[in-house]
């Protein structure tokens, strides 16, 4: 057997074993507690997910949250890249932006949510919070990639009078992309966590956060677990999809 395939097969078995271990631990804890209202069993949660999947509001809530998170993530990526390029060109702008980026990374999400509720409508709250939490990650990582660009390559491009577009495509893009991908991967996780937190507080209609809050109020522990697991699954699929799209675009740029 090919060593790579053997390693991948071993990794898959290890992951399955790890998931099985935590499910068994969860089941054991549920049986020890003996009250579904305190800790729902895996079987009960799975049944709830199946039941929810047959309801129209389940899918409309997922799509509503997806749209909001995507809007925030795209805006953060766009502005983050623009600001990183400007900061790369101007040390004054970089110094001016540093306190803001540090503040955003340091202040708790709940503080931003409460402050933002004063000015922003609840349906747009998760968009803004997702955008705000992802922005410094994309900015910092992209700027790090730009700063790490090989100076000798840039000098060579200057000597041969290579256009700015070609420098961006053939020098900056391949070197910056790994930094950007790393930031995007981390940013997606922050996007979902902060966005759902904003939905739980703001309670916009057709959202995962609204259903999480409703389950809590009704003491529907199985529903709370079901929506949480649904969010985790969607987050993983979303991350793989977005990163896959970015990599595909990067490969196309390299072939130009």
Gap between the Cα atoms of 69 and 66, Å rounded: 5
Note whether 142 and 84 are within 8 A (CB). yes
DSSP states of 90-109: -HHHHHHHHHHHHHHHHS-H
* Closest C-alpha among 204, 167, 160, 191 to residue 73: 191
pLDDT of 1 over the 70 cut: no
State mean pLDDT over 82-109: 91
Note whether 171 and 154 are within 8 A (CB). yes
> Which pTM was predicted?
0.87
pLDDT in tens, 20-75: 999 999 999 989 988 888 889 999 999 999 999 999 999 999 999 999 999 999 99
Q: How confident is the model at residue 12 (pLDDT cuts 50, 70, 90)?
A: confident
Q: How confident is the model at residue 171 (pLDDT cuts 50, 70, 90)?
A: confident
| pLDDT for position 256 | 64
| pLDDT for position 6 | 67
Residues 6+ apart with CB under 8 A from 219: 37
Higher-pLDDT residue of 195 and 256 is: 195
| pLDDT for position 64 | 93
| pLDDT for position 109 | 84
Note whether 169 and 181 are within 8 A (CB). no
Higher-pLDDT residue of 204 and 251 is: 204
**Average of per-residue pLDDT values in the chain:** 87
Backbone region of residue 207 per phi and psi (left: phi > 0; alpha: psi in -120 to 50; beta: other values) = beta
Q: Looking at the chain, list the stretches that DSSP marks H as alpha helix, in order from N- to C-terminal side.
A: 3-33, 42-53, 56-89, 91-106, 109-116, 122-147, 151-159, 164-167, 173-202, 208-217, 221-255
Per-residue CA distances from 236 to 57, 186, 241, 243 (Å): 21, 12, 9, 11
pLDDT in tens, 195-233: 999 999 888 888 999 999 999 898 899 999 999 999 999
Gap between the Cα atoms of 175 and 169, Å rounded: 10
């Amino acid at each position: 057997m090919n060593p790579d395939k053997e390693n991948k097969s071993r990794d898959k078995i290890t992951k399955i074993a790890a998931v099985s271990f935590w499910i068994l631990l969860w089941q054991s804890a549920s049986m020890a507690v003996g009250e579904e209202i305190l800790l729902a069993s895996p079987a009960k949660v799975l049944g709830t997910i199946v039941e929810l999947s047959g309801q129209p509001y389940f899918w409309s809530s997922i799509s509503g949250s997806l749209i909001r998170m995507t809007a925030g993530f795209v805006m953060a990526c766009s502005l983050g890249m623009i600001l990183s390029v400007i900061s790369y060109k101007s040390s004054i702008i970089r110094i001016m932006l540093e306190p803001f980026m540090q503040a955003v990374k340091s202040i708790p999400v709940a503080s931003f949510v409460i402050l933002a509720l004063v000015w922003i409508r609840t349906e747009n709250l998760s968009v803004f919070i997702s955008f705000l939490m992802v922005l410094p990650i994309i900015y910092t990582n992209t700027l790090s990639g730009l700063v790490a660009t090989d100076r000798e390559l840039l000098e060579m491009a200057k000597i041969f009078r290579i256009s700015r577009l070609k420098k961006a495509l053939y020098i900056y893009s391949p070197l910056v992309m790994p930094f950007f991908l790393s930031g995007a991967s981390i940013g997606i996780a922050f996007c979902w966590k902060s966005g759902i937190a904003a939905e739980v507080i703001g309670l916009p209609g057709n959202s995962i956060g609204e259903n999480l809050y409703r389950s809590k109020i009704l003491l529907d522990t199985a529903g709370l677990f079901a929506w949480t697991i649904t969010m985790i699954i969607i987050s993983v699929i979303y991350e793989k999809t977005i990163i896959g799209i970015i990599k595909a675009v990067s490969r196309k740029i390299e072939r130009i």
